[in-house]
């Protein structure tokens, strides 16, 4: 019998490793099922993002390559997602349809083994979670180029839901079309935020082509399926799902274009040691009111990472302030500041404490 060539020998080694991986993955899954049984008996949460983050950080510290940390994170995200589905299938609502950037953020956080539910509006995502049709929701909150998604902030004012996590997604826009060239295009569709993030490309390359706003980047891709004269600004995933070729790649103005999304839930997240807290404040109408509020945080050396003002929509010239800070509600410093803040403001609403998104997982 002739000896195997080097390529066949290497493939045999890969097959042997794959068989070991399969056995180990199923061993891991059986242990996860045992964990699920104990959680059910104790009434504990099945989905604990803090525990997930511990796994990722530990593996990244052990990782010696050649796989990158990002690749390791992606592989174990799917392993953890499939494992969670063995404990209890998670239902996650997101701003749809499929192939929106919110869908991508949902996949980044929860993996592909959850029961995902595309919803056609941000308010609809909140409603799905409030009414128990979904365990969690994913909604956009701000973009590094275009700023805050005001509609999301406004809904939080009256919603009982809490922020359970945050997701940072690097956003890359492509021009999708069945047209043979840019010169053949008669119209471009996309979501308002995507259009705004690609202004330079559009003004430079397609100054005379009408650009029309639609409800989502994914819906824009759908419009290209039947008409070769139109294009969509959308994601690579939209190109694959709706089978629309990419006519021009990476057309966003800012190559460091990041969108932040929030995971919403009925529950509060337990402390992890690396947390962020979000609140809504309405200050009293008196001189120095805002200064007095901010001074409380300064005195306790609480790091405020964001302050965003919005009209209250209930009274003329009345404003709400959305404030993010580093730390958890159960931290002594933050708890003390919020207690001191209550008599100083007309409204204080706590939106939740949740794990800080890691830079490497954006």
Distance of CA 273 to the CA centre of its chain: 21
Tokens of 199: 């202004």
The residues pairing with 95 across neighbouring beta strands, listed in sequence order, are 119
pLDDT for res 360: 41
The residues pairing with 231 across neighbouring beta strands, listed in sequence order, are 177, 188
Give the model's confidence band at 317: pLDDT under 50 very low, under 70 low, under 90 confident, else very high.
Answer: low
pTM of full prediction above 0.75: yes
pLDDT at 281 over 60: yes
pLDDT tens for each residue of 92-129: 999 988 888 899 999 888 888 888 899 989 999 999 99
Helix H or strand E segment including 216: none
pLDDT for res 311: 81
Map residue 63 onto helix, strand or coil.
Answer: coil
Task: Indicate the range of 158-167, 176-185, 227-236, 283-292 predicted with least confidence.
Answer: 283-292
- Average pLDDT over the chain reads 89
204 is catalytic: no
101 is catalytic: no
Place of tokens 């994170």: 73
What's the CA gap between 111 and 77, in Å, rounded? 6
Residue in 259, 277, 297, 321 annotated catalytic: 259
pLDDT tens for each residue of 31-45: 988 888 888 788 777
Tokens of 97: 């349809």
Place of tokens 């966003």: 252
Q: Which residue has the higher pLDDT, 135 or 51?
A: 135
Distance of CA 47 to the CA centre of its chain: 16
pLDDT at 206 over 90: yes
pLDDT for res 2: 64
What's the CA gap between 103 and 97, in Å, rounded? 8
| Domains defined for the chain, CATH in brackets | 16-39+46-86 (1.20.59.10), 89-171+258-265 (3.40.190.10), 174-248 (3.40.190.10), 275-356 (3.30.70.260)
pLDDT for res 285: 76
Helix H or strand E segment including 221: helix 217-223
Mean predicted confidence (pLDDT) in 349-357: 91
Contact yes or no for 188/259 (Cβ under 8 A)? no
Residue in 101, 261, 297, 321 annotated catalytic: 261
What's the CA gap between 217 and 233, in Å, rounded? 6
């Amino acid at each position: 019998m002739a000896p195997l060539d080097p390529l066949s020998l290497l493939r045999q080694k890969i097959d042997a490793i794959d068989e070991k991986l399969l056995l180990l993955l199923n061993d891991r899954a059986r242990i996860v099922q045992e964990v699920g049984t104990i959680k059910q008996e104790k009434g504990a949460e099945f989905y604990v993002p803090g525990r997930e983050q511990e796994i990722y950080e530990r593996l990244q510290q052990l990782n010696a390559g050649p796989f990158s940390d990002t690749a390791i994170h992606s592989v174990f995200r799917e392993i953890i997602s499939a494992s969670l589905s063995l404990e209890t299938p998670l239902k996650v609502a997101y701003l749809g349809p499929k192939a929106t950037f919110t869908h991508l953020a949902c996949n980044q956080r929860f993996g592909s083994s959850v029961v995902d539910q595309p919803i056609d509006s941000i308010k609809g995502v909140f409603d799905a979670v409030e009414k128990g049709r979904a365990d969690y929701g994913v909604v956009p909150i701000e973009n590094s180029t275009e700023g805050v998604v005001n509609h999301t902030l406004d809904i939080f004012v009256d919603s009982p839901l809490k922020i359970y996590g945050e997701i940072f997604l690097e956003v890359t826009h492509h021009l999708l079309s069945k047209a043979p060239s840019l010169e053949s295009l008669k119209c471009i569709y996309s979501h308002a935020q995507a259009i705004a993030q690609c202004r330079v490309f559009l003004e430079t390359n397609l100054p005379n082509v009408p650009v029309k706003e639609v409800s989502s980047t994914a819906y824009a891709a759908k419009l290209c399926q039947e008409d070769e004269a139109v294009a969509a600004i959308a994601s690579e995933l939209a190109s694959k799902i709706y089978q629309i070729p990419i006519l021009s790649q990476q057309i966003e103005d800012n190559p460091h274009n990041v969108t932040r999304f929030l995971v919403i839930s009925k529950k509060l997240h337990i402390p992890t040691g690396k947390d962020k807290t979000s609140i809504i404040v309405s200050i009293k109408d008196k001189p120095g009111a805002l200064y007095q509020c901010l001074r409380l945080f300064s005195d306790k050396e609480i790091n405020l990472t964001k302050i965003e003002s919005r009209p209250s929509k209930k009274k003329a010239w009345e404003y709400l302030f959305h404030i993010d800070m580093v730390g958890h509600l159960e931290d002594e410093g933050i708890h003390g500041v919020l207690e001191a803040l209550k008599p100083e403001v007309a409204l204080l609403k706590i939106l939740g404490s949740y794990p800080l998104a890691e830079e490497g997982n954006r």
